[in-house]
């Protein structure tokens, strides 16, 4: 019995590790996590929205943490207090109902704890703020937020966990990641391999073609619920919401009349009209609609005609959509 329990436990731990690796892999792909030193450039939206002194502080403070892009800090500052512009209790003085204060909305005990823990690792807020440091001082608050996100997982590539620690809600994490994306300028260089990437890591199961008397219009990729789904190529979101059979879907229109569809999703992270970049997080794998197991239904339509995604990827010189684990249609 003990052996069975141990095996089952190992399977659970392994699965969690796989999911965590998949999530951090995608987040790293989007935000250049890990040991990447190249921070992203501000988008026009970021320059229009973020006050100059805040932008400079977000960029400087982020350099203290190898896995943290400044856009994440800026997104937290946007959502917490609109970069200090929020006119409410606890932004410039006092506390709100939850005892949070300052532009990055720290609880006083958390602020002290973060600075104490960082000091033990030799990390200190550089000169330029209050003496002693204050959560109401913009300089101090942004550096403390950077330290906090770093020690909460950003330093080891767990951006999701780091943001979740800041505010324990999945909607909050998604909102921060979404805002960070909007603050990040589009990549200067054209994406490699025809501008296409594999939308989800998993195992190719049902392929394009006849299936039990019906015609299957896409490629199924089996993956655990919550596995990130990214835009296969850059484009504009034309549908995001419930759809008959697909449960919850996202559809993206690309150049040359090509439309990609992502079905059975657990959550969608984009809205209609949104411009998305290749590789950008758009949804998470689920098991909604006419689905008999957690998977992504990935469909490509060219001029209202569904085509075989595997062949399409081959023709575009894109990465292989399905590896050796493909089980065939
Ligand atoms: Zn399918």
pLDDT bin (cut points 50, 70, 90) of residue 292 is confident
Q: What is the CATH number of domain 193-315?
A: 2.70.70.10
Across 40-55, average pLDDT = 90
- Out of 57-66, 109-118, 176-185, 289-298, least confident range: 176-185
Tell how far the Cα of 216 is from the centroid of ligand 1, in angstroms. 6
Pick from 207, 167, 188: nearest CA to 312: 207
Tell how far the Cα of 249 is from the centroid of ligand 1, in angstroms. 12
How many angstroms separate the CA atoms of 321 and 311, rounded? 9
User: What percent of the chain is modeled with pLDDT above 70?
Assistant: 84
Residue 38 pLDDT > 70, yes or no?
no
- Cα 293 to Cα 15, 213, 297: the distances in Å are 16, 20, 11
How many angstroms separate the CA atoms of 42 and 47, rounded? 6
How many angstroms separate the CA atoms of 236 and 238, rounded? 6
Find tokens 């994440």 and name the residue.
72
Across 281-301, average pLDDT = 93
- Report the pLDDT value the prediction gives residue 36, as an integer from 0 to 100: 39
Q: Where along the chain do its domains lie?
A: 2-183, 193-315
Across 136-154, average pLDDT = 96
- Report the pLDDT value the prediction gives residue 156, as an integer from 0 to 100: 81
Average pLDDT taken over every residue of the chain: 85
Tell how far the Cα of 293 is from the centroid of ligand 1, in angstroms. 11
Contact 286, 265 (CB under 8 A): yes
- Report the pLDDT value the prediction gives residue 138, as an integer from 0 to 100: 97
Residue 33 pLDDT > 70, yes or no?
no
How many angstroms separate the CA atoms of 284 and 65, rounded? 27
Residue 224 pLDDT > 80, yes or no?
yes
Q: pTM for the full model?
A: 0.52
- Given the candidates 1.10.530.10, 3.90.1310.10, 1.10.10.10, 1.10.10.410, the CATH classification of the domain at 2-183 is 1.10.530.10
Tell how far the Cα of 169 is from the centroid of ligand 1, in angstroms. 31
Residue 31 pLDDT > 80, yes or no?
no
Q: Is 1 exposed, middle or buried (0-12, 13-18, 19+ CB in 10 A)?
A: exposed
pLDDT bin (cut points 50, 70, 90) of residue 35 is very low
> First and final CA of the chain: distance in angstroms?
39
Residues lining ligand 1 (ion), CB within 5 A?
218, 220, 297
Cα angle 237-241-243, degrees, rounded to a multiple of 5: 110
Q: Provide φ and ψ at 135, rounded to 5°.
A: -70, -15
pLDDT digits (tens, 9 = 90+) for 244-273: 999 999 999 998 889 999 999 999 999 999
Tell how far the Cα of 191 is from the centroid of ligand 1, in angstroms. 27
């Amino acid at each position: 019995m003990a052996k069975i329990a141990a095996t089952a436990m190992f399977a659970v731990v392994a699965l969690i590790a796989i999911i965590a690796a998949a999530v951090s892999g995608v987040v790293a792909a989007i935000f250049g996590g890990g040991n990447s030193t190249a921070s992203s450039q501000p988008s026009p939206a970021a320059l229009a929205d973020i006050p100059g002194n805040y932008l400079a502080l977000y960029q400087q403070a982020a350099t203290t943490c190898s896995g943290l892009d400044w856009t994440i800090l800026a997104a937290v500052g946007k959502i917490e207090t609109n970069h200090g512009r929020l006119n409410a209790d606890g932004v410039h003085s006092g506390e709100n109902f939850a005892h949070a204060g300052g532009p990055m909305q720290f609880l006083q005990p958390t602020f002290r704890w973060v600075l104490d823990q960082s000091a033990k690792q030799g990390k200190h807020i550089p000169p330029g703020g209050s003496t002693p440091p204050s959560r109401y001082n913009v300089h101090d608050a942004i550096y403390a937020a950077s330290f906090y996100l770093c020690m909460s997982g950003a330093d080891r590539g767990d951006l999701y966990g780091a943001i979740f620690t800041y505010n324990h809600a999945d909607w909050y994490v998604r909102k921060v990641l979404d805002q960070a994306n909007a603050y990040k300028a589009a990549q200067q260089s054209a994406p490699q391999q025809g501008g296409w990437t594999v939308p989800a890591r998993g195992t190719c199961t049902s392929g394009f073609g006849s299936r039990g008397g019906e015609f299957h219009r896409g490629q199924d990729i089996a993956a655990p619920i919550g596995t990130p789904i990214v835009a296969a190529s850059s484009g504009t979101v034309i549908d995001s919401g419930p759809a008959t059979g697909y449960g919850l879907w996202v559809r993206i229109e690309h150049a040359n009349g090509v439309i990609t569809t992502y079905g059975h999703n657990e959550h969608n992270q984009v809205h209609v009209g949104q411009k998305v970049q290749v590789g950008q997080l758009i949804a998470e794998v689920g098991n909604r609609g006419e689905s008999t197991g957690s998977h992504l239904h990935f469909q490509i339509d060219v001029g209202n005609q569904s085509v075989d995604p595997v062949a399409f990827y081959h023709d575009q010189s894109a990465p292989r959509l399905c590896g050796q684990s493909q089980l065939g249609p």
